[in-house]
Structure 1
């Protein structure tokens, strides 16, 4: 399984590195069953994060035709937007819409063999691109109303698995997301050994649109 972790100007480093390190460790635990790389819509380049001290290097352009996982992070910065061109999270996510990223993600989501995953504001990036209409999704709690307004079906869960779309809530949910993806792909023993390595116990139920319809309680 190959993982393409997407970088864009202003991305949140923990949204990327949390799940990516989990999946990288999963690659070791599976003797190379997982490979990971950092990509951008523009190709190989140094990509500044939303934290001034952190820049990561994308080594390739996002390839929507490649099977595997695509990891979409949110942005880092102030939560309140004062101006469309400021360095707030809403502004940084909105500026991705001027790049090739939405078209690349749309192409990936239209083909079998690709699973798109998001952490925190990554689901908002997809929703602003018109890619979450009618899909079950979660995201950062501050963005849930916006996700509803953009046509997504919001579930207040830490991880939501809607088949070829798997989303995590706030930033630290990326660890839970990574462990769930390991279990989904390789089974509980691989996920457990990585969980022990990181001394992190997953929280809550991974929500899926399956099973009995619960009565109101």
Structure 2
């Protein structure tokens, strides 16, 4: 058990054979790095396997967890790392012991293809979830009851959270730190881990797509968009900045980001609004203006669609003064 009184939250990481090495390391690194201003650890991380058996990863080494699945009974959050990929996981194919151990936990998270394990345990039926984009089609075939979104970096559905491929586990764990302890702690944790407090956009931007032949591209225009979020930006202006026709610009933009210019722009504006709500005392109308939504009503609608709460509720949740 935790000896430090600041460690009131226990994270239990469940390791399976063929685990992804980075996925196993991420929870320990991010949650271990979360501290109070005086340096007290906010989380304890323990690792377990079924029967405390050694588990082997795809990188050619074996890990011996310190605990068996009984430790889940003492955990506040359970994390399931990804597994490499040949495992034919579907309903009923994980052991009854593991399935029962994963059920009825206060909060459970998966990283990357760990979502297959949660889905095979029946924990994602009827819920939104995500997984690595390369495995999304197979996941959708195996688990049609899950509301899969392969474009996002992570999905927070309250007591069940899932992340997309590989490094997005960092994004999810940092989001949980922010949810538990506010932006100041999360930002300090991010700095210690040498990572951004959040990443722009979703997983779609990393999908392997052949780029169109020829010069150009939309990266410079995307940077220009980020610098002008507070002003109206229409397709004609964007295409003109990129020196392309509207049709060519729209096609190139989707090839490079996985989404339309309008959808990408809304995501960036929502991210900027979240940043302003977390880090400033600006009123909602001013946040709406600076993030390009124009009115508080528009900001409220877009923020609710993105994260499920209105601006003031978001500020209360993620800002700790």
Task: Tell whether the 8 Å contact from 1:10 to 1:92 is kept in structure 2 after alignment.
Answer: no
Q: What CA distance in whole angstroms lies between the structure 2 residues aligned with 1:211 and 1:28?
A: 27
- Displacement of 1:28 after TM fit? 7.0
2:74 pairs with 1:66: yes
* 1:192 aligned residue (187, 191, 199): 187
The higher radius of gyration belongs to 2
| Structure 2 counterpart of 1:81 | none
Moved more, 144-153 or 134-143: 144-153
Distance 1:133-1:118 versus aligned 2 partners, 3 A rule: same
Give the aligned partner of residue 154 of structure 1.
Answer: 148
Matched, 1:144 2:136: yes
Evaluate the alpha carbon distance shift between residue 8 and residue 192 of structure 1 in structure 2; reply closer, same or farther with a 3 A threshold.
Answer: same
TM-score normalised over the length of structure 1:
0.79
Match of 1:41 among 50, 60, 66: 50
Q: Number of residue pairs matched?
A: 193
More strand by share: 1
Q: Does the 8 A contact of 1:64 with 1:107 survive in 2?
A: no
User: Which has the higher mean CA deviation after the structures are superposed, 95-104 or 33-42?
Assistant: 95-104
Report the 3-state secondary structure (helix = DSSP H, G, I; strand = E; otherwise coil) of the residue aligned with 2:131.
Answer: coil
2:12 alignment partner, SS class: strand
- Counterpart pick for 2:308 among 207, 210, 216: 210
TM-score (norm 2): 0.55
Q: Distance in 1 between matches of 2:187 and 2:112?
A: 24
Native 8 Å contact 2:93 2:120 kept in 1: no
Query: Which residue does 2:257 correspond to in 1?
Result: none
Residue aligned with 2:74, SS: coil
Task: Indicate how the Cα distance of structure 1 residues 208 and 3 shifts in structure 2: closer, same or farther if over 3 A, else same.
Answer: farther
Structure 1 residue 20 displacement after superposition: 2.1
**Superposition pairs for residues 61-140 of structure 1, below 5 Å?**
61-62=68-69, 63-76=71-84, 89-91=85-87, 97-98=94-95, 100-108=97-105, 114-140=106-132
In structure 2, the gaps of 5 or more residues are 1-8, 203-304, 311-321
Give unpaired runs (5+ residues) of structure 1.
77-88, 109-113, 213-217
1:86 alignment partner in structure 2:
none
